[in-house]
Amino acid sequence: MKHLVAGTAGHIDHGKTSLVKALTGIDTDRLKEEKARGITIELGFAHLELPGGVRLGIVDVPGHERFVRTMVAGAGGIDFVMLVIAADEGVMPQTREHLDICRLLGVPRGLVVLTKVDLVEEEWLGLVTEEVREYLAGSFLESAAIVPVSSRTGAGIDALREALAQMSRGLAEREPAGPFRLPVDRVFTMPGFGTVVTGTLWSGIIRTGDAVEVLPSGRTARVRGIQVYGRKEAQGVAGQRVAVNLQGLDHDEVTRGETLVPPGLFRATRTVDVHLDSLPSSRDLKHRSTVRMHSGTAESPAQVILPDRELLRPGEAAPAQLRLRNPLLLFPGDPFVLRCYSPATTVGGGRVLDPAPPRRRRRSEDAVELITALDGDDPQEKVRLLVRESRLSGIAASEAGFRSGVGATPLEQALHQLLSRGELVQVLKEPRMLLTREAFSELEEQLLVALNSYLVANPLREGVGKEELKGCLPKRSDPRFFGAILADLAREGKVLVERDLVKPVTEISAPVLACEGVRDAVAAALRQGGIEPPTVRELAEKLAATEKSLLEHLAVLVREGRAVRVSSGLYYAPEPLNALRDRLTEFLKEQGEITPSGFRDLSGLSRKFMIPVLEHFDSTKVTIRVGDVRRLRRG
Ligand SMILES: Nc1nc2c(ncn2[C@@H]2O[C@H](COP(=O)(O)OP(=O)(O)O)[C@@H](O)[C@H]2O)c(=O)[nH]1
Ligand SMILES: [Mg+2]
C-alpha cells in the first residue's frame, strides 16, 4: 500500500470541504463553530483508497484569509495539492495566495478542481476553464489536469478519483530515511488514552514504545500507541498521516507547531540562514523588517536580515537571515513562508539553508559565499566553508552535517577528500572536531608565541609546562585541541616535548638572550660574590633556572666582558678576579714563585676556589706551573 498525502487549497466557500466529503464520505468540519458558521477554521483530515493500492490522506485547509496561517500548517508535508476553484466565481484572492504558498513551500505537483459546476452553464464553464488555464500559466500547475465536478450532484467525482489515482501513480512515496520527525498539527485527549497528537510524518519511522522529545519545549514522552488513518499500527512511516498516543505528557504540554523527534538529537533555533524568494505580487521587503515566518505547523515573528542589500524587490531572490522571536525546530531544506502583519499578506518564502548560523557582520563576503554554497549542491564546498567560518573554534563534523543538511555518506566522502588534501585538520576524535589548515596553523603560531613570551617573562626557565601552555590557547578554541596542536608542532620539530615540559627547539635562547634583566641579575650576583662568587649550580638554584639556561646567559656576559669563565661551573666578575691577578703578579715579582698553600694564604680563598683560579691564571698565561709551584710567565 502506497501512502500519499494531498492538501486542499483555494478561496473560502469554493467547496473544498464539500469536495473532501464527496470524495471520502468524511465531514472534516468537526467543530461546533465550523458547523454553525459553515466555514472551516481548523485543519480537517480525511482519507480514501484509490485504485492501484494507494491510500491517500487529505488535509482540508480553511480558505478564509484570517486562517491562512492554518492553511500553511496544513500544506507543509503534502505530496500534492488539489486547488479548488468554484466555477461560478473563478480565481479569487485566496486562490492566488494559496497557490503562491504552495509554490513557496515547494509543493511539487497538483491538480485543479473546478467545483459547483451544477451552478453554471456549459458555456460559462468553458470560459472559466480558459481563465483558470491562463492564470496557471508559468506556475507549477501550468499543465495540471483541470477536473470539473459538482459535490452536490456527484458529477465528475469519479473522474476526479481517476485523476487522483493517476497523479498518485506518478508520485513516489517518501523515503523513510533518517530520524522520525512529526510536526504536530493537532492535539487532543482521548478518554482512557490521554494525549494524542496528529501530523504528517515528515521523515523516518515512529514506533510504539519509542521515546520522543517535543521541540522546542524539550519535554519528553513515550509512544503508547499509533494509528494510521484510524487503524492501530505498530509504526508510522514517513509520508503517512499518523495519530500518536503519548504517555507522560498532558494535552496542554504540547501544541501545534511543536515537533516530535527522537530525544537528544536536535535543538530548536532562533536564527536561520535562508534562500528567500519574494513574490512578484508582493512589495518591497526592507532589511530589518518584521514578518511572520511559517514553516511546517510552526510559526514565529521574525526579523529579516539582508546581508548583501537594503531591499528585496518583488520577484527577487536573495540570501537572508531570519531572526525568530520563538525558537523553532528547522532543518536545511525546510520550506517556509513569510507573511506581513498589515496587511496580512504572503510576501515571500523559500528554503532553510542553515538552521544554526552564527550572527555575523552584514556585508560579509565570506558569509554570502557560505550561504550561496549551502544553496548549491556541492557537499564538499558546504563543509569546507562551514569549517572556514568556524575559524579558531572549529566545528564538529556532526554539526557541519546538521547545519548543511549533507547526509551521512556524502559528508564522510567530503571529509575524506578535504582531510586527505590537507585543507582540513581533525583536531579531536570525540566529538570529531575540524579546523581549516589555516586556523590550525594559526593556533600553532599562537602557541609558539606564547611559549616564547613565557620564556622572555621567565628567562631562567627552559620551557613551559604543558598545562600552562594549554591555557594560552585562545578562549574560542577548545583546550582539548591542545594535544593535536602540540603533537604537530613536535612532529614538525618546532618544539621539544620532554615529559611535562614544552621547550623551543631552534634558536633556543633567542628570547632568553634578549632578556637583559636576567643577565644583569647574574652579573650582579657574581660581583657581589667577589672572590668567592656563586657557582653555576648555586646561581641556578638562586634564580630558579636550569644550569643550561644560565650557561647561555653567562656565555653572553663573557662576550660582553661582564664575566670571566674560570672553570666549567665557575664564573667570576672581572673586577675581583683582576684584583686577585694583580696581587698574585705583585707577589711573584717579589718572591719568584708561589705554592698552592702560599696562594691560599695570599688570597684568602678556600680550596674550592683556589685551584680553579690558579689553573685559570695558568691557562690565561699569567703564570706557568713548574712542578708544584707557579712562576710568572714572561711573554
Ligand atoms: N451547488 C453547489 N454548492 C456547493 C458545491 N460544493 C460546495 N457547495 C456549497 O458551497 C458552500 C461552501 O462549501 P464548503 O465546502 O464549506 O467550502 P470551503 O469553504 O471551500 O470548504 C456550502 O454551502 C456548500 O454546500 C457544489 O458542488 N455545488
Ligand atoms: Mg472548508
The ligand placed nearest to the CA atom of residue 38 is: 1
C-alpha cell at 204: 523516518
Cβ 296 vs Cβ 76: under 8 Å: yes
The residue with cell 575559524 is 391
Q: What are the C-alpha distances in Å from 126 to residues 24, 195, 409?
A: 28, 50, 52
Q: Which of 77, 93, 333 is nearest to 184 (CA)?
A: 77
Average pLDDT, the chain: 91
Q: How far is the CA of 65 from the centre of ligand 2 (A)?
A: 12
Lowest mean pLDDT among 190-194, 344-348, 442-446, 518-522: 518-522
The residue with cell 647574574 is 522
Cβ 386 vs Cβ 370: under 8 Å: yes
Nearest CA to ligand 1 atom 1: 116
| Cross-sheet strand order for the sheet of 629-632 | 593-594, 629-632, 623-626
151 Cα nearest atom in ligand 1: 27
Banded pLDDT at 544 (limits 50, 70, 90): low
Nearest CA to ligand 1 atom 28: 116
- What pLDDT does 277 receive? 95
**Sequence-distant (≥ 6) Cβ neighbours of residue 77 within 8 angstroms:** 5, 183, 199, 200, 202, 296
Q: How far is the CA of 62 from the centre of ligand 1 (A)?
A: 13
The residue with cell 484572492 is 93
- What pLDDT does 343 receive? 83
The ligand placed nearest to the CA atom of residue 11 is: 1
Indicate the Cα dihedral angle 97, 100, 104, 109, nearest 10°: 120
Q: Which residues line ligand 1 (CB under 6 A)?
A: 12-18, 38-40, 63, 115-116, 118-119, 150-152
- What pLDDT does 361 receive? 83
Highest mean pLDDT among 54-68, 208-222, 501-515: 208-222
Average the pLDDT over 180-194 and give the result: 90
Q: How far is the CA of 411 from the centre of ligand 1 (A)?
A: 51
Phi then psi for 378, rounded to 5 degrees? -110, 100
119 Cα nearest atom in ligand 1: 1
> Rounded CA gap, 61 and 71, in Å?
5
**Sequence-distant (≥ 6) Cβ neighbours of residue 150 within 8 angstroms:** 115, 116, 117, 118, 156
Q: Write down the pTM of the prediction.
A: 0.74
Highest mean pLDDT among 71-80, 450-459, 593-602: 593-602
**Sequence-distant (≥ 6) Cβ neighbours of residue 630 within 8 angstroms:** 588, 593, 594, 599, 614, 617, 618, 623, 624
Banded pLDDT at 451 (limits 50, 70, 90): confident
Nearest CA to ligand 1 atom 9: 15
267 has a pLDDT exceeding 50? yes
Q: Is 602 exposed, middle or buried (0-12, 13-18, 19+ CB in 10 A)?
A: middle
Over 292-361, what HEC string results? EEEECCEEEEEEEECCCCCEECCCCEEEEEEEEEEEECCCCCCEEEEECCCCCCEEEEEEEEECCCCCCC
506 has a pLDDT exceeding 60? no
Q: For residue 522, which amino acid is it? A: V
Q: How far is the CA of 116 from the centre of ligand 2 (A)?
A: 14
Q: Which of 366, 322, 381, 326 is nearest to 348 (CA)?
A: 322
Banded pLDDT at 549 (limits 50, 70, 90): confident
553 has a pLDDT exceeding 90? no
pLDDT above 90 coverage of the chain, percent: 72
Q: Name the pairing type of β-strands 146-148 and 219-228.
A: unpaired
20 Cα nearest atom in ligand 1: 15
Name residue 215's beta-bridge partners: 259
- What pLDDT does 511 receive? 46
- What pLDDT does 591 receive? 92
> Rounded CA gap, 554 and 59, in Å?
88
Q: How far is the CA of 513 from the centre of ligand 2 (A)?
A: 87
The residue with cell 473546478 is 114
pLDDT in tens, 247-256: 999 999 999 9
Q: How far is the CA of 151 from the centre of ligand 1 (A)?
A: 8
pLDDT above 70 coverage of the chain, percent: 97
**Sequence-distant (≥ 6) Cβ neighbours of residue 378 within 8 angstroms:** none
Nearest CA to ligand 1 atom 3: 116
Phi then psi for 496, rounded to 5 degrees? -110, 130
Choose the residue to mutate in 151, 153, 160 for probing ligand 1, maximizing ligand atoms within 8 Å of C-beta: 151
Q: How far is the CA of 113 from the centre of ligand 1 (A)?
A: 13
